[in-house]
Structure 1
Amino acid sequence: MRFPLVIACCCLPLNAWAESLSVSRCVVHPPMELLPTEPEQAEAGIAPNQLPIKVNADRSEAVAGDSARFEGNVKLRQGMRQISAQSAEVSQLEGSFSAQGELVYQDPAVAISADSLNADMDDYNAELNRAQYWLRGQQVHGKAEQLKIEGENNLLLSSATFTTCPQDDPDWLLEAKEINIDANEEWGEIWHAKVKLFDVPVFYVPYMTVPVSSKRKSGFLFPEFSTSTKNGVDVAVPYYWNIAPNLDATLTTQYMSSRGLFLRGEGRYLQPYGAGQVNLEYISGDRLLDDSPDRYLIHFEHAGKLENNWRLYGNFTTVSDDNYFNDFDSDVSASTDNQITREGEASYFTDKWDFAVRVQDIEVLGDSSKPFQVMPSLSFDYRNPNLWGPLDFTFGTELTHFAHKESDHLTATRWHMEPTLTLPYQTPAGSLTTEVKLMQTFYEQRDPSDQLEDFVSRTLPQFRLHGQVNFERNSRFGDGSYTQTLEPQFQYLYVPKVDQSDIGLYDTALLQEDYYGLFRDRRFSGLDRIADANQLTLGVSSRFFDGNHAERAQVSVGQILYFDDSEVGLGDDQSQIRSSNSALAAELELQASRRWFLSGSLQFDTQSGDTNKSEVLVDYRANADKLIQLSHRYVPNLGTDTEGNPIDINQAGIRTTWPLSDELYFVGNYYYDLNLSRSVESYAGLQYESCCWAIRLAYYRHLNTNYEDGDFSTISPRDDFDSGVTLKFVLKGLGSSGPLGVQDMLDEGVFNYRRPYYLRN
């Protein structure tokens, strides 16, 4: 829930709400004709109070060198200041000016209507009584018994009101004894204010500041309120600290009735050498855990450069326990992230070569086995296109040391070299690429169990031939004409078989298979296993373009034909190939009409008749705010559970956002496990948003993830599901960090919204 904080000093930064008020019904217009603001003081060196005064009126009386009086349709201009009234008087001796009757004052910053005006022309100050004001270019307006303009358009209002609602009877209104708007700082200071919602006073604030532009300032942001079975009643109060133009921080105090006090801090910096952030999170004595331990998170990330060629990157995260992201809404990661990556890299780039040194440590949450650490890795890549005529040459080498946190574990140093010759041939009608490379790898291993060789040398040549042909024709479907392409392609890959069982697995895993993966030259990530191959990949794609050259559909189908079995694997049957062909892989992206979109992928085993993987997404989009998405995904044989039963993913879902009126939106999603016959996640939210305030009420229920955490010996049992209600409330213009948006409601939960099509315009 978001609402103003009632304390002695309340400074509310980040006025981003104005960007959402672009529709005409939300624009505040003064009930007057705005006069043009021509830059009459453009001459350098002339002070505003030294500029000449120009006056037009129906009648005038003047005493030379003393005073002048004007009656009827008086129009006065001095520089960028403009005044219209029924009568006015100028005293040249006293340097003063007064006006009455249907008075309107305007300058580049403000437009004011008032009963009367008295101005000091020498000091460039003015005083208006019983005034109404509108800040130009902003949604801010209000009334004041007395309004003073001082210096460079600074405003001092007494017995005043302040609102960003466009109507004469605003939904919310701030009444204050005094308001001071600083034109340079672009902030307003308010003393002894009370806020009214629908003309009902809701709270009192002794002092606060509000933004009148997008300029940042330190202060409290709106608190957030929620309740859940996991945390109980949850109230978070963030404080924004604008330390410097390139340095800021957000400090959040969060109280959870079931757990205790949770503190979060995020600092950001922007320097010529790069940008980064630091996150610290801490809860003392989590009451939901039996031992009430302290839990924490530390995170640092930096990305930047030194001079023109050097690039630096660092990322470090540590948490107190494996279930930290499951239990807390962290600013760093979500509950769907099951690993923490810590890495640092320094790299140097030129046109033909680059060099990098990298360290990496990956921690898999909930997994008792720990991955290897890269400590460090040195890589060098050289590129020489057109080495000899059309022949390209590249050379890559990498020297990596794999360490481990356990002192009695396997460690190794690996040196890999990969010179490559490529002969490309490309025309608009197609392409043919011939590639030959030699892969040489040396290992020095330290195996405490003496099961692996201490020194291993592996030499593997590789030959790859890839070709593609592009056909094109005009076609018609219904009333439309399209350009259809047909793009068959093939790839022949040969890598001889070499026994690699004496090499440990340090950074190698089986890669994901899909249509585009059929044309890779590797089956495994990393370098510890390079699979033998004697295979031919055949594939074909077809695309449809409309008369505006926008892609409306694409379909791709492909398969690998194996001439020999692939013996090199990861020690299991799944990573070896003992069949004549791979699964048939297909991809589909289709815009069936202006509103209907379809996306799908399939991996089908033609020999066994089984589906290895499938995913389908259907979108109905009536417009940008109206969406219905249906989805289904199926992945079998992911592993086995503790009882030896196979683990499959077989889930169906629906997601929608739909406006119930111009200001009321509904967002909901529901995902169901077809194997276990139970819901996985559900979410329903209603959001009302007017020009000057917004409110969101949402309900959620999703599965809890619970790792077998080795850091805590006893953990209170977690429920299978976590459910809760969240309420957010924003008064636009009183320091909200931005308007509530429908898109972020779509992104809430485990299954974020994903567009099902990647068609190119």
Structure 2
Amino acid sequence: MRFPLAIAICCAPITGWSQTQDEQPVTTEQHCVVRLPSESRSDADLSSRDDTDPTIHVSADSSEATAGQAARFQGNVNLIQGLREIQTERAEVSQETGTFSADGGLIYQDPAVMIKAQSLTADIDDNQAELTQAQYWLNGQQVHGKAEKLQILGEDSMLLEGATFTTCPQDDPDWLLQAKTITIDAEEEWGEIWHAKVKIFDVPVFYVPYMTVPVSDKRKTGFLIPDFSTSSKNGVDVSVPFYWNIAPNFDATLTTQMMSSRGLFLKGESRYLQPWGEGKINLEYMGNDRLLEDNSDRYMLHFEHGGKLTDHWRLYGNFTTVSDDNYFSDFKSSVQASTDNQISREGEASYFTDFWNASIKVQDIEVLGDTKKPFQVMPALSLNYYQPGLYGPVDFHFNTELTRFSHQESSQINATRWHVEPTLTLPYQIPAGSLTTELKLMQTWYEQDDPTGQYDDFVSRTLPQLQINGKVNFERDLTFAGQPFLQTLEPQIQYLYVPHTDQSDIGLYDTALLQEDYYGLFRDRRYSGLDRISDANQLTVGLSTRYLDSINRERAQLAIGQIFYFDDPKISLDGNEEIPERQSNSALAAELQLRASERWFLRGGVQYDTNAGSTNRSEVLLDYRANDDNLVQLSHRYVPALGTDIDGQSIDISQAGIRTSWALTDKTYFVGNWYYDMNLNRSVESYAGIQYESCCWAIRLAYHRHLNTNYDDQDFTTISPNNEFDSGLSLKFVLKGLGSTGPLGVRDMLNEGLFNYRKPYYLRN
């Protein structure tokens, strides 16, 4: 606050100035707006001001001035200097002492703060001012309060004595800090508070000798709000996180967590952001877990990085290790979900240009609970070259990959694989359809070191492949329920030919069977990886249709297709080629997505074996969405032969579920889900949570019960009604503005539990 001595005095209102009688909001946050006094100015008033202008412009009903000494003003006094303004009844400016004073009630405003006070004394030369019996509001923030004495120290900070501090918008806030001293730095956007009592609904709840609080969303080192929960497995669980703002591009969160059944659990997460990439490091540790028979230590280490060194070079790394297979089942981690049963460790460096790219990659995958370890990729070198328009309309693509597979167990096979795949493509595309012909040659060499002698030392495999894919686009106008629609009809046909060659002398290193949904019918591979390339002499026929409304928004999608085999494929994962896997055709695959109205949505998929008359897989999701916070989802999924029962018999998975979130009031939400196993007649997971959230504070109470996975059990793959369940309560309470914004509505609650919420539609808007 500064008032140079050059003064222009007038007794009439300043030209172009208009006072608004409406209250002005500090912030536009929905339903959470701090209202300023009616005398406050609007932001539009600032646009015509010059902050570099040293002149004080004054208007008043009457004035009295002595040249070179002082000036006194009475009645509706308005002082404006740059972006600063004071409204008061009486004011005096002394040029001799370099001071300014006002009393009888006043309002001070600048871009950072608005203050309503009884009196003001300012030192013009030192840029300081003192106000008594003040009320303050930080412009653009939710922060406001009162002070017996308020000092403005320079341009960007304030010192308050006998003060209160709150981020609640109302005049009678639900919570506030009552402190002996508060310092607010408007530039740094943080406040320091000494000897504070926290009052909730005017009741003191705890005392804090010193604390810092944000006056915006700027990050600051300090403790965050603790979490409380109970669990039948972990007991009473209390976690206290500490946030460390190391640098603008580097921070860490350190959490001390106490579990009454297990012991002390320490967690740390550090994040960094650099011009050459971003990443995070997680370290978690529990010493002497009391629930384990040997009281062994538990730990987890995770590192992830992604970024670029130059415009051409890309780097990616991901490494995770845990002390035991049950780690993610027993502890909630930000690295991996409890339902994940694989840990991937990989590193990759890639180089990209317009027409070619190359990479080197290492990878190690650990399957939790499985004594049979996968192969490690140590390393894989790949090169891809693209040449569109190589000869007229013909495109050329060349891919080669050299991979070394190793194994941690000395009794297992090790191998080196070199694969070369040149491809010629003839595309033809017009709005009415497309026809693409592709011819490729797949040449693979293997060098295998097999201690058992099951596989040959050297194997060479040569396979040509022909793929012809054609699609036609039809459309027509129609009317349904009185509304105009555009319907498309898109038949698609594909012929694929790959000759058969014996591959039983090749080990399985990175190969698995791919899922045959509708879009998978048009793939040229049945298996992932390169160790098995299935023979094919087949025709795929598919038909899809879409419905678009008058604003070209997709309202429905339906697709159905099937593969017809001229020759049954003989290649299998187990090497048995005596019995064909298919008979004349594949499963019939269908997909449906429907936006029946603005609130009703449906998605479904099925693979039906027409030969056996049975369903291979199915899933359906039905959504009712009144808005983003009010929804109900019904779901069912069926997967045959996913596991075995206690008698060793194959068992299907048939699960039905319901998930909902609903606003009980404008501030209270309920979220719940329930999933039921229809084969074993038992609940798989139950969750119910209720949350109240206002502009000032939020509280959430939740209950959960779900299946536990124990990889130490030798029969962990057995699907049995006697599996272990974990249940418990969790409580979260936050005061907004004290280091946390609190729960973010119902969105994060919808993702609680084993099954996350998924939208049942992927229609194009």
In structure 2, how many angstroms separate the alpha carbons of the residues matched to 1:31 and 1:74?
A: 17
- Distance in 2 (alpha carbons) for counterparts of 1:609 and 1:331: 43
Aligned twin of 1:162: 165
Q: Tell me by how many angstroms 1:638 deviates.
A: 2.1
**TM-score (norm: length of structure 2):** 0.94
SS, match of residue 507 in structure 2: coil
1:203 to 199, 206, 214: 206
Does the alignment pair 1:640 with 2:649?
no
- 2-side partners of 1:322 and 1:242: how far apart? 33
Cα shift readout 1:623-675 (whole Å, capped 9, x = no counterpart): 12110100011111224345321121100000110111011111001000000
Q: Which amino acid aligns with 1:396?
A: N
Superposition deviation, residue 740 in structure 1: 3.5
Pair 1:500 & 2:473 matched = no
Whole-angstrom distance in 1 between the partners of 2:209 and 2:532: 69
For the pair 1:37 / 2:46, whether they are aligned, the reply is: yes
Partner of 1:7: none
- Residues 494, 540 of structure 2: 8 Å contact kept: yes
Please point out which of 487, 490, 496 is paired with 1:487.
490
| Alignment partner of 1:601 is 2:605 | yes
Aligned-pair CA distance for 1:738 = 4.3
Alignment match of 1:139 (pick from 142, 153, 165): 142
Residue in 2 that maps onto 1:746 = 750
Choose the corresponding residue for 1:449, options 442, 445, 452. Answer: 452
2:583 is aligned, of 579, 583, 605, to: 579
C-alpha distance in structure 2 between counterparts of 1:724 and 1:163, whole Å = 34
Match of 2:620 in 1: 616
Pick closer, same or farther for the CA change 1:457–1:481 going to 2, 3 Å.
Answer: same
TM-score normalised to the size of structure 1? 0.94
The CA distance in 2 between the partners of 1:155 and 1:610, in whole Å, is 75
For 1:42 and 1:110, the matched residues in 2 are separated by: 15
What is the Cα deviation at residue 331 of structure 1? 2.1
Indicate conservation of the 8 Å contact 2:51/2:83, yes or no: no
Secondary structure at 2:329 match in 1: helix
Corresponding letter in the other structure for 2:189: E
Superposition deviation, residue 278 in structure 1? 0.7
Residue 362 of structure 2 aligns to which amino acid in structure 1? V
Give secondary structure in 2 for the equivalent of 1:362: strand
Question: Residue 276 of structure 1 corresponds to which residue in structure 2?
Answer: 279
Report the counterpart of residue 231 of structure 1 in structure 2.
234
Question: Does 1:538 find its partner at 2:541?
Answer: yes
The C-alpha deviation readout for 1:379-437, integer Å capped at 9, x for no partner, is 00000000001000000000000000011210100000000000000000000000000
Question: Shift in Å at residue 38 of structure 1?
Answer: 4.3
Instruction: Please list every run of 5 or more consecutive structure 2 residues that lacks an aligned counterpart in the other structure.
Output: 1-25, 715-721
- Secondary structure of the 2:283 match is strand
Q: 2:759 aligns with which of 734, 755, 758?
A: 755
Q: Deviations over 1:585-607 (max 9, x none)?
A: 00000011111101000111112
The correspondence of residues 16-415 of structure 1 with structure 2, limited to 5 A, is: 22-35=28-41, 36-38=45-47, 40-43=49-52, 51-415=54-418
Q: Which has the higher contact order (CA 8 A, sep 6+)?
A: 1
1:547 aligns with 2:550: yes
Alpha-carbon distance between aligned partners in 2 of 1:428 and 1:400, rounded to the nearest angstrom:
41
Is 1:699 the counterpart of 2:729? The answer is no
CA separation of 1:21/1:657 partners in 2, compared to 1, >3 Å: closer, same or farther? Answer: farther
Q: Is the 8 A contact 1:133 1:142 kept in 2?
A: yes
Deviations 1:47-105 (A, max 9, x none): xxxx1111000000000111010000000011211000011111011111111123100
Write the deviation string for residues 497-545 of structure 1: whole angstroms up to 9, x where unpaired. 0000000000000001100000000000000000000000000100011
C-alpha change, 1:719 and 1:567, in structure 2 (3 Å) is closer
8 Å contact kept, 1:21–1:691: no
Counterpart-to-counterpart distance in 2, 1:661 and 1:59: 55
Alpha-carbon distance change, 184 to 676 in structure 1, aligned in 2, over 3 angstroms? same
Please say if 1:654 is aligned against 2:652: no
Contact 2:698–2:742, Cα closer than 8 Å, also in 1? no
Judge conservation of contact 1:384–1:392 (CA < 8 Å) in 2: yes
Tell me how far apart the structure 2 counterparts of residues 737 and 171 of structure 1 sit (CA, whole Å). Answer: 16
Residue 609 of structure 1 deviates from its aligned partner by 1.4
The alpha-carbon deviation at position 739 of structure 1 amounts to: 3.7
SS in 2 for 1:25: coil
Q: Is the 8 A contact 2:691 2:701 kept in 1?
A: yes
Residues 408/338 of structure 1: CA separation in 2 closer, same or farther (3 Å cut)? same
Confirm whether residue 731 of structure 1 aligns to residue 735 of structure 2.
yes
Please report the RMSD computed on the Cα atoms of aligned residues, expressed in angstroms. Answer: 1.7
- Name the amino acid aligned to 1:273: W
Pairing 1:397-436 to 2, within 5 Å after superposition: 397-436=400-439
- Kindly indicate whether the alpha-carbon contact (under 8 Å) linking 2:735 and 2:742 is maintained by their aligned counterparts in 1: no
Find the residue that maps to 1:744 and give its secondary structure: helix
Quote the offset at 1:33 in angstroms: 2.9
Question: Contact (CA 8 Å) 1:432, 1:466: kept in 2 or not?
Answer: yes
> Per-residue deviation at 1:23?
4.8
Identity of aligned residues (%): 70
Paired residue for 1:478? Answer: 481
SS in 1 for 2:626: strand
1:517 is matched with: 520
Letter in 1 for 2:668: L
State the 1:40 CA deviation: 3.9
Q: Which amino acid is 2:763 matched to? A: L
**Separation in structure 2 between the aligned mates of residue 447 and residue 457 of structure 1, nearest angstrom:** 16
Residues 39 and 79 in structure 1, CA contact (< 8 A), matched pair in contact too: no
Distance 1:478 1:173 in 2: 57
Task: Tell me, in whole angstroms, the C-alpha distance in 1 between the residues paired with 2:608 and 2:90.
Answer: 87
8 A Cα contact 2:303 2:317, kept in partner: yes
* Cα shift at 1:438: 0.3
**CA distance in 1 between partners of 2:259 and 2:751 (Å):** 24
- State the partner residue of 1:13: none
Supply the AA of the counterpart residue of 2:378: M
Query: Partners in 1 of 2:628 and 2:355 — Cα distance?
Result: 45
**Does the CA contact (< 8 Å) of 1:323 and 1:709 recur in 2?**
no
Distance 1:750 1:680, change over 3 A: same
| Contact map agreement 1:321 1:709 (CA 8 A) in 2 | no
Matches within 5 A, 1:655-674: 655-674=659-678
Amino acid at match of 2:740: S
- Partner SS state of residue 623, structure 1: coil
Question: CA offsets, 1:141-176, max 9 Å, x none?
Answer: 110001111111311000000111111111111100
Matched position secondary structure for 2:46:
coil
Q: 1:296 to 1:737 in 2, by over 3 A?
A: farther
Match of 1:679 among 655, 662, 683: 683
* SS across alignment from 1:697: strand
* C-alpha distance after superposition, 1:206-237 (max 9, x if no partner): 00000012221111111111011011000001
SS of structure 2 residue aligned to 1:331: coil
1:291 deviates by: 0.5
Alpha carbons of structure 1 residues 751 and 21: separation in structure 2 relative to 1, 3 Å: farther
What SS does the aligned partner of 1:617 have? strand
Task: Find the aligned partners of 2:595 and 2:544 in 1 and give their Cα distance.
Answer: 16
1:22 is displaced (CA, Å) by 4.5
Query: What is the distance in 1 between the residues matched to 2:98 and 2:580?
Result: 95
2:705 aligned counterpart, secondary structure: strand
Deviates more, 1:375-384 or 1:78-87: 78-87
Q: Which residue identity is paired with 2:101?
A: S
